[in-house]
Each structure stands twice: as C-alpha cells, then as structure tokens.
C-alpha cells in the first residue's frame, strides 16, 4: 500500500501500519512488544469493545488469542488507508475487515474503522494509541 508520493516519515509509518495489520492475522505479540509505546504509555480501544492500558495489557490479550488461533491465521483486510505525519506524531486511518475462528471464544466476522496514533520516541516510531470500532456505513447519511 506504500505509495511513491509519501514522504520518508509517511512511508516508514505506513510500513509499520502494514506490518501491524499482518501481525493482527495471527496475534503475533512480538510486533506489539517491539513497536508499541513502553509501559503504560499505550492506550488501546479494541474492536472487542474493551480498553487496554499499557503494552503489557494488550500483549496479554494477543498471547491468549494466539493460543486459541493455534497457528491459524485470521483474515484482516484494510482499505482507504491514509497516513498523516506532523513533526514527531503520525495518524493512520483505515477501514478494516476481520474474520477469525477463535475456537471456544467463537467466530468473528465484522467490519471496523481504525485509527492508529504513532509518536517518534528516541528516534523510533511507536504506537501510543489505537482505536477500533464497528463500521456500519449508511447510518444517518454516513459512509
């Protein structure tokens, strides 16, 4: 999805976004440990409608989900991906589709909208906020 007209910072953040989407397919928690803001800095509003405070909290969820997936990948698709960088902050938005079989937790198939906020910390882009919610286009004139 990286486009040639992106600045170097935009391209770097978009590559992180694409890797994040890939990590979501198997709940690959090492990506979170490497690219989320440290300790309790991260605030995560998940598509499951729960909030997670700090990288360790969301890693705990992903480890549990990875165990349930047992090596099987879910489907995560994105569209309308966009990145904006302002100084040491970046915003990534997209619409997503998620489908996964979480075994005893049930099957999930839903559409969502996602926002990632990245911050350059000590020269490295790290996610400081993630928000994902259901997407129901066409409600009250929305898209």
The backbone region for 70, taken as left when phi is positive above 0, alpha when psi lies in -120 to 50, beta otherwise, is left
Residue 19 domain boundaries? 8-133
Cα–Cα distances (Å) from 11 to 68, 81, 82, 91, in that order, read 33, 12, 11, 12
Q: Is residue 68 part of a domain?
A: yes
Half-sphere exposure of 51 (CA within 13 A, CB side): 5
Predicted confidence band at 136 (pLDDT cuts at 50, 70, 90)?
confident
Q: What is the pLDDT of residue 71?
A: 87
* 42 inside domain: yes
DSSP 6: S
CATH, residue 106:
3.10.450.50
* 140 belongs to a structural domain: no
45-49 average pLDDT score? 94
Residue 97 is assigned to a structural domain of this protein: yes
pLDDT category, 88, cuts 50, 70, 90? very high
In a domain, 1, yes or no: no
pLDDT at 29 over 70: yes
In a domain, 115, yes or no: yes
Token pair of 110, please?
Answer: 């839903």
Determine contact, residues 96/112, Cβ cutoff 8 Å: yes
Whether 143 is in a domain gets the answer: no
* pLDDT surpasses 60 at 2: no
**Tokens, residue 80:** 């309308």
Mean pLDDT of 20-24: 97
What is the arithmetic mean of pLDDT over 105-109?
A: 92
If one counts the domains in the chain, the total is 1
pLDDT of residue 3: 53
Q: Is the pLDDT of residue 4 over 80?
A: no
């Amino acid at each position: 999805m990286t486009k040639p007209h992106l600045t170097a910072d935009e391209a770097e953040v978009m590559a992180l976004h694409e890797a994040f989407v890939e990590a979501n397919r198997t709940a690959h928690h090492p990506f979170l440990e490497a690219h989320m803001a440290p300790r309790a800095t991260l605030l995560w509003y998940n598509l499951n409608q729960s909030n997670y405070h700090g990288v360790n909290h969301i890693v705990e969820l992903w480890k549990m989900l990875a165990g349930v997936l047992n090596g099987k990948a879910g489907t995560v698709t994105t569209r309308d991906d966009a990145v904006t960088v302002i100084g040491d902050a970046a915003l990534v938005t997209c619409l997503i589709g998620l489908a996964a079989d979480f075994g005893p937790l049930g099957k999930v198939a839903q559409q969502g909208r996602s926002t990632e906020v990245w911050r350059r910390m000590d020269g490295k882009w790290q996610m400081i906020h993630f928000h994902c919610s259901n997407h129901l286009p066409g409600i009250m004139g929305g898209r």
